[in-house]
């Protein structure tokens, strides 16, 4: 691009969203942390993770591994996530320390959910993609048909590469449902390019972002540079609307389940769980604002997310009454003396459910810290 080219004021597309902007939630309902978490890790996603984890475990057993294994069910995987979240709240040097009976640790919560052997077995076998097709993709390594995101594919939407680079394809893929509605997207310099912005503008979608001077299409001269006294409207808007990203990144630094692992896809799975809890917290704050309530603190929301993920469903014969058992584990109650948060709104998932004529008993294990 020649820096001497005259600037052209792009037309502003009318803002005509297909639906009301913002969180698509029913503000007349109460959402538990479990239900907010399931907006990211839905039951279908968790079922896929269980299926592939069971396949991975069976394959290793067939190869001669001696680790004891029983099939992983969705409810158990949710509880596994809950233990991981508790580890994000209380950090120990090693995973086995959470089951240590040494007085310097003495953390009873993980032991009430899993034995250390079972927790380590799930961690050992945890697998996202289908092991039956992993080898097919691995055989394509070094070719154009190799899918670098194959191990994460069940957690992300399918996309058709355009050949214009990952940064270009990622933006187009995520914005496809909203193209042509007049929205404005704000991105950092990894995504900013003249080709992307021109394509988005042609699709009636605005874009704003910082840019790298060495990016293809960036002016090579300053002949037509912005005057020093020019009003920086775009800069102010960028700083304003990118604040949400900064807030999310900041919240991820306070509590995190990320742990050392030899598999990169597992590290990314742990990151997705972190993001799911943070997204749930942001939605919880928005729901509280709509109802003019005081929201939980970030730390308190993590605590209740951990408790809510320990909803266990047991099938019982039809016709029996639904029994909701609330097990309150009194941990450090003398120190905290805190039962101030209303539990009723968090018991929302413990409702009558029908599945093939079976009635379920919902056991909600809530720890008050």
Structure tokens, 232: 């920086």
Q: How far is CA 166 from CA 1, 160, 200, in A?
A: 22, 11, 16
Span of 112-126, 130-144, 349-363 with lowest mean pLDDT: 349-363
Instruction: Assess whether pLDDT exceeds 80 at residue 100.
Output: yes
pLDDT over 80 (residue 264): yes
Q: Which of 61, 78, 79 is nearest to 70 (CA)?
A: 61
Distance between CA 276 and CA 85 in Å, rounded?
11
CA distance 226 to 165: 29
Is the CB of residue 304 less than 8 Å from the CB of residue 321?
no
Nearest alpha-carbon partner for 126 in 310, 276, 262: 262
User: Sign (positive/negative) of CA torsion 85, 109, 114, 75?
Assistant: negative
Comparing 8 with 129, which gets the higher pLDDT? 129
Would you say 74 and 260 are in contact if contact means Cβ atoms under 8 Å apart? Answer: no
pTM of the predicted protein model: 0.68
Three-class DSSP category at 199: helix
Q: Which of 27-31, 233-237, 298-302 has the lowest mean pLDDT?
A: 233-237
User: How many helices and strands, by DSSP H and E, does the chain display?
Assistant: 13, 6
| Rounded (10°) angle between helices 264-290 and 74-89 | 80
Beta strand ranges found along 150-229 (DSSP E)? 184-187, 206-209
Does 70 score more than 90 pLDDT? yes
356: left (phi over 0), alpha (psi -120 to 50) or beta: left
Q: Which residue has the tokens 């914005």?
A: 175
Q: In angstroms, what CA-CA distances link 134 with 46, 61, 127, 269, 270?
A: 19, 17, 11, 17, 20
For the chain, what are the domain ranges?
Answer: 33-133+255-304, 310-368
Pairwise CA distance, residues 84 & 259, whole Å:
9
The burial of 286, by beta-carbon neighbours within 10 Å (0-12 exposed, 13-18 middle, 19 or more buried), is given as middle
Alpha-carbon dihedral sign for residues 227, 228, 231, 233: positive
Specify which of 6-10, 51-55, 244-248, 345-349 reaches the highest per-range mean pLDDT. 51-55
Q: How far apart are CA 306 and CA 365, in angstroms?
A: 10
Phi-psi region of 114 (alpha: psi -120 to 50; beta: other; left: phi over 0): beta
Helix, coil or strand: residue 87:
helix
Within a 10 A sphere around the Cβ of 84, how many other Cβ atoms? 23
Q: Which of 313, 269, 267, 274 is nearest to 76 (CA)?
A: 313
**Burial annotation 299-314 (CB, 10 A radius, 16+ → b, else e):** eebbbbbbbbbbbbbe
Please enumerate in sequence order all residues whose Cβ is within 8 A of that of 103, keeping only pairs 6 or more positions apart, or say none: none
pLDDT digits (tens, 9 = 90+) for 182-215: 777 787 777 777 777 888 888 778 788 777 766 6
* pLDDT tens digits, 324-338: 333 333 333 333 333
Residues 335-351: what's their mean pLDDT?
A: 40
Cα–Cα distances in angstroms (integers) from residue 321 to residues 9, 238, 313, 365, in the given order:
68, 56, 14, 19
């Amino acid at each position: 691009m020649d820096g001497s080219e005259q600037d052209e004021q792009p037309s502003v597309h009318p803002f005509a969203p297909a639906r009301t902007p913002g969180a698509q939630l029913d503000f007349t309902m109460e959402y538990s942390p479990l239900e907010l978490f399931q907006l990211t890790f839905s039951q279908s996603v968790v079922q896929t993770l269980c299926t592939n984890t069971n396949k991975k475990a069976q394959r290793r057993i067939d190869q001669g591994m001696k680790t004891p294994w029983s099939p992983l069910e969705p409810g158990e995987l949710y509880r596994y996530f809950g233990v991981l979240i508790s580890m994000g709240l209380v950090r120990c040097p090693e995973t086995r320390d959470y089951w240590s009976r040494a007085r310097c640790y003495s953390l009873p919560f993980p032991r009430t959910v899993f034995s250390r052997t079972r927790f380590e077995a799930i961690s050992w076998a945890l697998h996202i993609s289908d092991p039956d097709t992993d080898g097919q993709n691995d055989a394509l390594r070094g070719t154009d048909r190799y899918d670098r995101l194959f191990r994460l594919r069940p957690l992300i939407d399918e996309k058709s590469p355009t050949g214009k680079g990952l940064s270009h394809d990622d933006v187009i893929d995520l914005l496809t449902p909203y193209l042509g509605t007049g929205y404005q997207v704000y991105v950092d310099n990894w995504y900013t390019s003249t080709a992307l912005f021109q394509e988005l503008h042609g699709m009636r979608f605005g874009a704003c972002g910082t840019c790298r001077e060495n990016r293809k299409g960036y002016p090579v001269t300053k002949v037509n540079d912005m005057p020093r006294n020019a009003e920086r409207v775009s800069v102010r808007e960028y700083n304003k609307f990118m604040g949400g990203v900064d807030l999310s990144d900041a919240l991820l630094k306070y509590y995190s389940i990320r742990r050392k692992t030899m598999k990169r896809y597992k590290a990314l799975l742990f990151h997705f769980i972190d993001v799911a809890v943070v997204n749930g917290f942001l939605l919880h704050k928005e729901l509280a604002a709509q109802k003019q309530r005081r929201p939980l603190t970030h730390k308190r929301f993590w605590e209740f997310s951990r408790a809510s993920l320990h909803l266990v469903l047991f099938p019982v014969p039809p016709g029996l009454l639904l029994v909701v058992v609330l097990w309150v584990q009194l941990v450090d109650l003398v120190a905290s003396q805190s039962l101030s948060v209303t539990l009723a709104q968090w018991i929302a998932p413990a409702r009558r459910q029908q599945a093939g004529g079976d009635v379920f008993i919902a056991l909600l294990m809530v720890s008050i810290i």
